[in-house]
Amino acid sequence: MLAYRHAFHAGNHADVLKHAVLVAVLRHMNAKEKAWRMVDTHAGAGAYALEAAYAQKHAEYRQGIEPLWSLPTLPPMLSDYVEQVRVFNPDGGLGHYPGSPWLARHLMRPQDQLRLYERHPTDHGLLAELFEGDRQVIVEHADGFAGLRAHLPPPSRRGVLLIDPSYEIKTDYAAVTDAVSEALTRFAQCVVMVWYPHLDTRESAQLPQRLKPIADAQASKGWLHARLTVAEPNDRGFGLLGSGLFVINPPHTLHEQLRLMLPVLVRTLGQYAGAHHRLEAAAGL
């Protein structure tokens, strides 16, 4: 499936949740001098213009990053994330949105590495152009699931894996669980972040339930599951209700950071009275 373009959704509520957690995870990785490697299986274009036609078609950022942009007080994790978006907009306005690759590159140190996969030819071209000549970044026009074997584990034995396909085809759900199992088999200490869309479908509801036993059996430091629900199903049962993140081997600080952040996202980004969040963890976390 090569039709999906993240530019239509840049800066929406799902990006807010995913990228706030990514920034927190990489901050934690930077607490130790030893190098880390991040692998992004579905990297997209890396950066997005919010005034472009793609982003303006549905203007999803207006119910995502935009409401947070001017809030005077935010929980620390959310404040750090918004600050990264501000850095990406040096003129002070909210005209552009950074994707996961840019956020990761901005937080990298000279010893760290970034490995990016993107199959869509247009987005791959934009991504390759963004990091042209950067020796710490490798951009691959290939299947990110198939590329895990080449990059995990890194020599430093410190790494982050971000898995966030479009899920436009149902086989993505099985591919995600297979990729997580393979990654943990090769590298049990890897911090694995799995983003998924909260939809009114069986596949969406079952994904975190399928990831829990894999993490329980193979991960060294447990798991966290955070889900944000901002919209209610329409009459046809379609539409993005929110999104979730399943984090395996999470930083020990992440649970408390999410506990403080998620209620703020519900209040700020919720689109109906029943907006809510879920936060659960493996036993002992």
Domains and CATH numbers, the chain: 25-44+103-258+271-281 (3.40.50.150)
User: Would you please indicate which residues are annotated as catalytic (active-site) residues?
Assistant: 164
In the predicted structure, residue 1 carries a pLDDT above the cut 50: no
**Sequence-distant (≥ 6) Cβ neighbours of residue 24 within 8 angstroms:** 77, 80, 81, 251, 253, 254, 257
pTM of structure: 0.96
Distance CA 128, CA 141 (A): 9
Q: Which residues are 137's β-sheet partners?
A: 114
Q: 55 falls in which pLDDT band (50, 70, 90)?
A: confident
Cα angle for residues 68, 46, 211 (degrees, 5° grid): 80
Instruction: Tell me the per-residue pLDDT of 102-148, one tens digit each, with 9 for 90 and over.
Output: 999 999 999 999 999 999 999 999 999 999 999 999 999 999 999 99
Residues of the chain above pLDDT 90, percent:
87
3-class state of residue 197 by DSSP: strand
Distance CA 222, CA 250 (A): 7
Structure confidence at residue 6 (pLDDT)? 82
Structure confidence at residue 283 (pLDDT)? 81
**Rounded mean pLDDT, 26-53:** 96
Structure confidence at residue 3 (pLDDT)? 52
**Rounded mean pLDDT, 15-44:** 98
**Rounded mean pLDDT, 176-187:** 97
C-alpha of 168 from chain center: 17
Distance CA 42, CA 101 (A): 10
CA-to-CA dists, residue 222 to 156, 219, 240, 280, angstroms? 21, 6, 28, 11
Residue type, 74: L
